[in-house]
Structure 1
Amino acid sequence: MTTAPEHATSPIKRVLANAGQLLSGRVVNAVVGLAYIALTARSLGKEAMGVLVLINAFAQFLGEVAHFQSWQTVLTYGTGPLLANERVKFQQVLRFSLLLDGISGVLGVALGVAGAWFFWNELRWPEGMSGYGALYALSIPVMSSATGVGLLRLFDRFRFLAAEQAISSLVRMIGCGICALTQAPLPYFLLAWAAGTFASFFYVASIAIWDLNRRGLLKGFSLLGPTSRDMPGVWRFAMATNFSSTLDVGFTHVLTMVVGALLGPAQAALWRIGKQVADGMAKPARLMVPALYPELAKMRASGGQQAMTKLAVQIALLGGAAAGVLLLVSLLAGRWILETVMGQAFGAAAGVMNWQVAAAAIGVMTLPLEPMLVSMRAAGAALVVRLVVVICYFAALVPLITRFGLTGAGAALVVSALAMAIGMYLMARRRLARLAAEDDSARTTKDDEGPKYDHAHGV
């Protein structure tokens, strides 16, 4: 078994270097992603585009609900065995992660198909679209190649991860281009979007298997064997990270469905278009997060709490600078960007997009906080923060949308992002203080024991 190579460079330089590798692919993805969105929007119009957006949001929501964040399990529990050359233990972590992915896939498809058939009317889908929605739900198991992503992050294979979303967007763009040229109806655009999801999954899985084999980590591996044995708390960790991720989609896919249910597919399309552009603007800064997790996991495994804090502060300062630029661009050029890329009809999304960019900017400024909590195995603390914020968020969401429309939804998003940032900061500070106290206690105990007398050697 080959261990991960040691790097002489500082953690912040490694994070930025890995984020830079991801950025090279995400720049392509941002351009290609806007291209397939634009092709879809211009070909279908606001109403049909809104229906596609609602079906996609429904499937992605269920995918996020069902999917365990097994990549976090790979990083948190697999880093130690990898560094210690414990191949069998590492294979156990891998087996457990694959088990989580299998459970996720079966559950996601079951919920997706049932939901499409029985709740299409409540979701504001047109009559006759339930069958297409059920077929689209078959892509739920491959919407997240979680174990593969975790392995490639652990192995510092960020240059391969850089192409993951670009491949998905490229396949979608080609498919949507064909649909646009042939004036195909909505179901064929759904097929093109699903094809991109499958392409991305198989790409990541293939690279991960190749790298595992190259490192000798598949030698003697079997899907049958121990999973959670001798890994105390791993199921609790998996459930907490899954639930936290599920709550996170309340700010994405669930909100799109709520907007569609209350305001109709056309307004859902405007919301989704604005969110797509806002997320695309924030993406370069957010790429530091996947590059941050492996560094924090390695620091936690070696007891480097002070180094973790220093790295988080450095990332926060960089994120703050990026956040200011994002908001300025949105305020000055948001409408022009939307009308140029999506068409005149979608310029109306500019107002709500400013709110969405502001929320994204707050998230960028505080992006190291949740990775720190997860790396310190305090995923439960992050979950508590998300749970409280999401409950308050959805309690206020329907009245705000009913009274203020898309502006109300955008304002709620900003307030919830701010509350999330404050909560994560307080939890991270509390956890770091506890770890520091434990380290001080351990050092004091060791000093009190003093040197031991060795009778055999007289020392």
Structure 2
Amino acid sequence: MNNRVRALFARVFRNTGYLLTGKGATAALALGSTALAVRALGLEEYGILLLINSFTSSCSVGTRFQSWQPLLQYGNALFKRADKTAFQTLMRHCAVLDGMGALIALTVALLCSLWLGHAFGWPESYGRMPLWYLTVVLFMNTGSALGVMRLTNRYELSVLADALSGIVRFLGCIAGFVLHWTLQDFLALWYASFVAAFTLDGVIALWVLGHTDALKGFSLWGVPWLSPIKGLWRFTFSVSVDQALSRLSTRLTVLVVGIVLGPQSAAIYNVTWQISDGMARPAQMMTPALYPELVALRDKRDWASIRQVTNRILQALGAFSVVVILAAAFVGPWLLHVLLTVPWSGTRTLLLLMTTTAILDLWDVPLEPILVSLNRAHQLLLGRVATMCFSLPFLYWLASIWGMTGAGLATLLSELGIFLSRLGPYLVMSRHKNFQNAQEDPAPSSSISESEE
């Protein structure tokens, strides 16, 4: 590796370490919260809590603009040359996107709540679907705040809000277990955890902006509401819809399993996925740390380093995947038994299917950020849409026939389709020495038109 690539890997692994430490602590707290909540509420009521939260989260992620990605994609060059006016306009643009997404999410949640309350098992004995909980979607969008922390290389601060949310839930679950809280009480606890994380992210982002030399005098006031950067809207739409469909698909699969097999099966399926995804999480944490570095290499037209970084990461992921499979086979069933008090028998097959799915998702670690940084986000979106057109009906069909094993198999085949939709465009581009025609806009980070697109 040349010196530039060595320095890049040092930053990526350092920032990944920050993210991994925070996410690891959050995951441990989440597992502890799950175990306590299941014992306090029972598996069925916990499944209802999970489905209600999955519904509200689905409304949020399905309407959320991924504001941190345009902030990095187009703001990196502006930040490096301390172009305060243009950067402030872009930052305000991204903050507006967060607010718009939250309001759209609340509207969708209110319109869909009454029908879905019956569909995924909200019992009549509890009265009306808890409409007050739906307002939690107003506190789920923090993309622009995270973008500020990642752009300024303050990854150690970007995990604090998630950690705080996990601590609030865990301490609350201890209290709920001891005091015999009801389902409504646990809903209030989940709500408080989202509000705490939202508030902390906003405070940290404002602090970072006020203590960054290149942004001294930064203000969101006195600048246009929307940025005139060329290509910004198309890029934002592509990455936002792709990520929305990705996260929405995960939550919708839980809802489909709940509708077909009941709340208990939905809880088992979701926790199995959490275990499988958690074992693969260390490598997945590399994606947000890698993306800004690829944007910087793209701005420098350093195609050789981009190719070298991608190949090295793919090699490392091969070895890591073997470790994950072995851990799932020997540790996963025991962990599932401890968390949900379900028998070991029948869980290993589902765990292996879900772990293989998580491994396929791992191989997106270098592919997705490199395609996004090279303005191929629309190709990722097309691949996602094509896959989802068959994956959810396929999930419903296989779950109806083979139960939990069918649900796991359908999830695996869906992820395989997503992976192939990323691998294909990368292989086509990599045939050219300098990634010829890789970007439709040769300088997206600094290309600004005279009027809005």
In the superposition, the TM-score normalised over structure 2's length comes to: 0.90
Which stretch of the first structure deviates more once superposed, 350-359 or 415-424? 350-359
Q: Which residue of 2 aligns with 1:445?
A: none
Shift, 1:319, TM fit: 2.1
- Equivalent residue in structure 2 for 1:398, among 396, 399, 404: 396
1:317 equivalent in alignment to 2:330: no
Q: For 1:145, which of 142, 147, 155 is the aligned residue? A: 142
Q: Deviations over 1:236-267 (max 9, x none)?
A: 11111111012212441000001111111111
The offset of 1:435, in angstroms, is: 8.7
- Whether 2:10 is the aligned partner of 1:17: answer no
Q: Could you tell me how far 1:271 is from its partner in structure 2?
A: 0.8
1:187-216 Cα deviation digits (max 9, x unpaired): 111111121111112112111110101125
Q: Does residue 326 in structure 1 map to residue 324 in structure 2? A: yes
**Is it true that 1:296 corresponds to 2:294 in the alignment?**
yes
User: What letter matches 1:412 in structure 2?
Assistant: A
Correspondence 1:234 to 2:232: yes
Preserved CA contact (<8 Å) 2:47 2:264? yes
Please say which structure displays the higher CA radius of gyration: 1
Which fold has the larger relative contact order, with Cα–Cα distance below 8 Å and residues 6 or more apart in sequence?
A: 2
Q: Report the CA distance shift for 1:397/1:208 in structure 2 as closer, same or farther (over 3 A).
A: same
CA distance in 2, matches of 1:142, 1:308: 36
Tell me the distance in 1 between the aligned counterparts of 2:191 and 2:34.
14
Does residue 254 of structure 2 align to residue 271 of structure 1? no
Per mean C-alpha deviation after superposition, the further-off stretch among 52-61 and 133-142 is 133-142
Equivalent residues of 2:165, 2:197 under 8 A apart: yes
1:12-54 residue CA offsets vs partner (Å, 9 max, x unmatched): 2211111012222222122111100111112112210110111
Alpha-carbon distance in 2 for matches of 1:346, 1:246: 34
Q: Say which of 149, 153, 157 aligns to 1:156.
A: 153
**One-letter amino acid of the structure 1 residue matched with residue 328 of structure 2:** S
Are the aligned partners of 2:88 and 2:223 in contact in 1 as well (CA < 8 Å)? no
**How has the CA–CA distance of structure 1 residues 309 and 227 changed in structure 2, closer, same or farther, with 3 Å as cutoff?**
farther
1:184 aligns with 2:181: yes
In the comparison of the two structures, how many residue pairs are matched?
Answer: 435
**Rounded Cα–Cα distance in structure 2 between residues aligned with 1:215 and 1:251:** 38
CA offsets, 1:350-378, max 9 Å, x none?
43222111100111133211111111121
Does the aligned pair in 2 maintain the 1:109–1:140 contact within 8 Å?
yes
Deviations 1:55-109 (A, max 9, x none): 0110111110111000101110110101111111111110110110010011111
1:170 aligns with 2:152: no
Partner of 2:42: 45
SS at match of 1:436: coil
1:377 aligns with 2:375: yes
| Structure 1 residue 310 displacement after superposition | 1.4
SS in 1 for 2:121: coil
Q: Which runs of 5+ in 2 are unaligned?
A: 439-453
Match of 1:122 in 2: 119
How many Å separate the matches in 2 of 1:225 and 1:118?
Answer: 43
Shift of 1:430: 2.9
Q: Distance in 2 between matches of 1:437 and 1:208?
A: 35
Instruction: Tell me if the contact between 1:305 and 1:432 (Cα under 8 Å) persists in the aligned partners.
Output: no
Cα distance in structure 2, aligned partners of 1:148 and 1:298: 20
Deviation at 1:144, TM superposition (A): 3.2
Q: Does 1:66 align with 2:57?
A: no
- Local SS of the residue matching 1:184: coil
8 A contact 1:149–1:161 mirrored in 2: yes
Q: CA deviation at 1:228?
A: 4.2
Q: Root-mean-square deviation (CA), in Å?
A: 2.3
2:243 and 2:281 map into 1 onto residues whose CA distance is 18
The 1:131–1:206 alpha-carbon spacing in structure 2 relative to 1, beyond 3 Å, is: farther
Shift of residue 282 of structure 1?
Answer: 1.5
Change (3 A) 1:196 1:348: farther
- SS of the residue 1:124 aligns to: coil
For 1:282 and 1:352, the matched residues in 2 are separated by 16
Distance in 2, Cα, partners of 1:291 & 1:335: 32
Aligned residue in 1 for 2:206: 209
1:34 aligns with 2:38: no
Cα displacement (A) at 1:129: 5.1
Distance 1:116 1:413 in 2: 26
**100-109 vs 343-352, greater mean Cα deviation:** 343-352
Verify the 8 A CA contact 1:117 1:130 in the aligned structure 2: no
CA 1:427 to 1:224, structure 2 compared with 1: closer, same or farther past 3 Å? farther
2:341 counterpart of 1:339: no
2:51 to 33, 39, 54: 54
* CA offset digits 1:308-337 (Å, max 9, x no partner): 221122222222222211111111222111
Does residue 134 of the first structure (1) align with residue 131 of the second (2)? Answer: yes
One-letter amino acid of the counterpart of residue 194, structure 2: T
Corresponding residue for residue 424 of structure 1: 422
Matched, 1:106 2:103: yes
Query: Could you list the per-position Cα deviations for residues 278-322 of structure 1 after superposition, in whole angstroms to 9, with x for gaps in the alignment?
Result: 222121111111111111111122222221221122222222222
**Matches of 2:148 and 2:346 in 1, distance apart?**
42
How far the C-alpha of 1:382 sits from its partner, in A, is: 0.7
Tell me which stretches of 4 or more aligned residues in structure 1 moved more than 6 Å.
Answer: none
CA distance in structure 1 between the aligned counterparts of 2:347 and 2:46, rounded to whole angstroms: 14
- AA aligned to 1:105 is A
Counterpart residue type for residue 269 of structure 1? A
CA–CA separation in structure 2 for the residues paired with 1:304 and 1:270? 46
Bigger drift between 192-201 and 146-155 goes to 192-201
Matching residue's letter, 1:138: T
2:153 aligned counterpart, secondary structure: coil
- The one-letter code sitting in structure 2 at the alignment partner of 1:74 is L
C-alpha distance in structure 1 between counterparts of 2:216 and 2:133, whole Å: 33
* 8 A Cα contact 2:429 2:436, kept in partner: no
Distance 1:360 1:66, change over 3 A: same
Identity %: 28
Task: State the alpha-carbon separation in 1 of the partners of residues 80 and 412 from structure 2.
Answer: 41
| Residue of structure 1 equivalent to 2:360 | 362
**Gap runs ≥5 in structure 1:** 1-5, 441-459
Structure 1 residue aligned with 2:197: 200
Greater Cα shift, 374-383 or 340-349: 340-349
Moved more, 112-121 or 191-200: 112-121
